Amino acid sequence: MNDKPQLRQVQHPVADVGAAVEFYAAAFGFTEKFTDGDRYAALDAGGITLALAGPAEDVTGGVPAASIKVPDVAVAVDAVVRAGGVVVRPAERGSHETRAVVRDPWGNALIVYGPA
């Protein structure tokens, strides 16, 4: 992995992952990269991933969030706090990676994620 943080995906919480996959395919032609049952689906949105999070994977409380891939989640979360952000959910191991949810000083949710 590149050592520089990268905006890799935007997460959208959805009530029905399958229906959301169908909607984004029909409306925009986005194709599935992979699906994890009714928990999560990753769609190719042209250079960035649209991550559809079902209720079991919604870590942001129902709000869309940019997801930033980092080499070390703990280090990145510490940098966010030092820069004036706040931790919403501390780092935790998820189904596919380690992730934390933070907010920038303007209240925008961000998912910081990296290797499990």
Q: Counting Cβ atoms within 10 Å, is residue 11 exposed (0-12), middle (13-18) or buried (19+)?
A: buried
Share of the chain above pLDDT 90, in %: 92
Would you call 1 helix, strand, or coil by DSSP?
coil
Mean pLDDT score, 99-114 = 94
Domain ranges of the chain: 6-114
Domain 6-114 has CATH 3.10.180.10: yes
Tens digit of each residue's pLDDT (9 = 90 or more) over 8-33:
999 999 999 999 999 999 999 999 99
Mean pLDDT score, 80-96 = 93
- Give the integer Cα–Cα distance in Å for 41 and 50: 8
